[in-house]
Amino acid sequence: MTSVKRVHNFNAGPSAMPLSVLEKAQAELLSFNGCGMSVMEMSHRSKEFEGIIKTAEADLRELMGIPANYKVMFLQGGASLHFAMEAMNFRPAGASADYIVTGAWSKAAIKEAAKLGTTNVVFNGEAEKFNRLPAAGELNFDPKAAYVHICHNETIHGVEFKSEPVLPAGVPLFCDMSSDFVSQPIDVTKYAMIYAGAQKNAGPAGVVIAIVRDDMLERVPANLPTMLDYKVMAEKESLYNTPPCWSIYMCGLVFQWLKELGGLEAMYKIDQQKAKMIYDVIDKSGGYYRGHAVPESRSIMNIPFRLASEELEDLFVKESKKADLIGLKGHRSVGGLRASLYNAVPLESVKALADFMVEFQKKNG
């Protein structure tokens, strides 16, 4: 274990990484596996790197139970680029795509898709400040939609799907899973596409993991810019051009860590326990802390909450920083406070935050 001083990291992304993963990366930074080069210095076509990317993929397939008829890709551009790419690749000319808009990130996704063609808003939670998921009865799907897009966990508004919406027969489900990827078991077969920016649960920024069912790739139109063409990326196994090697390597180390920890069932239990610690403080605060999301829609990853005034919120941020609790300021678009409790945030950190919240209320209640 390191003797370096580390803080309690509640950043929303990029965010905490497992200490043991960082230590491994540090130990082999000058020479990966005795090869005499850093991972940053090796050819992406070398045997060493092939081992890294293939192992990362195999471990992810095992963790998530990804069937053989899905491709797994490690790509660039951030989830934001894939908002545009999913529409370019998978919404045929003239067709429309359905979007369930539950927060800032599904709103950003439909914005990109609307630039390029027809979209349909199946649900929009904005009038209620994105504080809840839709009920099944509220969803008026287009039975001819090219796909339905959801954001599995809204990082800013803190609402998270507990199960997949039931779609009209034959309509594929697409999912931006950036902020709760590998936090819980998922039935991948319910999705035709899952993608996630790595920088929350899977690794550092700079890589997007895309999981695409084979039949979707038949939709890809001819003549897309090569780097925006999922079919080429799949055929070239993420190596059409130089991939973000270091970020992929780090994801691989995180997947190994998850396997050692017992996989996604085990991770999920811990994540639920961590989230409960903070929601309990909120719920027992007698309204002093006010969670943004309604209880049934609450995220186990991101907990946005408010205090009675902005002054009090500013004080909370200031005092929490002094206690080495970092990243608790809410997203600039909504204000308030937010605790992100990603996989790599240790129980001790969550305990420290819960204790701090209780103390803060006592002092400033």
Ligand X SMILES: Cc1ncc(COP(=O)(O)O)c(C=O)c1O
The annotated binding site for L-glutamate is made up of: 45
Using the minimum distance from each CB to Mg ion, give the nearer residue, 12 or 146.
12
Residue with the two structure tokens 């990366």? 25
Written as one letter, the residue type at 28 is E
- Least distance between ligand X and beta carbon 80 (Å): 3
283 is catalytic: no
Among 13, 103, 172, 330, binds a second copy (CB under 8 A): 13
- The single residue among 226, 241, 273, 364 that binds ligand X, judged by CB under 6 A, is 241
- Our CB check for a second copy shows the closer of 147 and 288 to be 147
Contact criterion met (CB below 8 Å) for 63 and 263: yes
Q: Which stretch binds ligand X (CB under 6 A): 30-38, 66-74, 76-84, 210-218?
A: 76-84
* Contacts (CB under 8 A) with a second copy, residues 136-165: none
**Any catalytic annotation for residue 115?**
no
User: Does the active-site annotation cover 246?
Assistant: no
Partner in contact with 327, chosen from Mg ion, ligand X, a second copy, none, beta carbon below 5 to 8 Å by kind: a second copy
**Order of strands, edge to edge, in the sheet holding 290-291?**
290-291, 302-306, 337-340
Residue nearer to ligand X on the CB measure, 105 or 288: 105
C-alpha–C-alpha distance, residues 338 and 265, integer Å: 25
Interaction residues for a second copy, span 268-287 (CB under 8 A): none
Please choose which of Mg ion, a second copy, ligand X, none residue 259 contacts, taking the beta carbon within 5 to 8 angstroms, the exact cut-off set by kind: none
By CB under 8 A, what part of segment 175-234 binds a second copy?
A: 197, 199, 203-207, 223-228
CB of 345 to Mg ion, least distance (A): 9
189 versus 226: smaller Cβ distance to a second copy: 226
Contact partner at residue 176 from a second copy, ligand X, Mg ion, none, CB < 5 to 8 Å by partner kind: ligand X
* CB of 35 or CB of 58, closer to a second copy: 35
What's phi and psi for 303, nearest 5 deg?
Answer: -120, 95
State the pairing for strand pair 302-306/337-340.
antiparallel
**Total number of residues shown for the chain:** 365
Please choose which of a second copy, ligand X, Mg ion, none residue 23 contacts, taking the beta carbon within 5 to 8 angstroms, the exact cut-off set by kind: a second copy
Tell me which of 59, 98, 176, 229 is the catalytic residue.
176
Q: What are phi and psi of 21, to 5 degrees?
A: -70, -45
Scanning 68-203, the segments in alpha helix (DSSP H) are: 78-90, 104-116
Sign of CA dihedral 68, 74, 75, 77: positive
Which of 59, 71, 105, 329 is catalytic? The answer is 105
Record the tokens describing residue 94, joined without a space: 């003239």
Q: Which of residues 10-49 bind Mg ion (CB under 5 A)?
A: 12, 15
What does the alpha-carbon distance between residue 178 and residue 119 come to, in Å, rounded to a whole number?
Answer: 22
Q: Is 178 in the site for ligand X (CB under 6 A)?
A: yes
Cα–Cα distance between 279 and 285 in angstroms, integer?
Answer: 10
H helices within the chain, ranges in order?
19-27, 47-64, 78-90, 104-116, 214-217, 230-235, 245-261, 263-283, 310-322, 347-364
Catalytic residues: 105, 176, 200
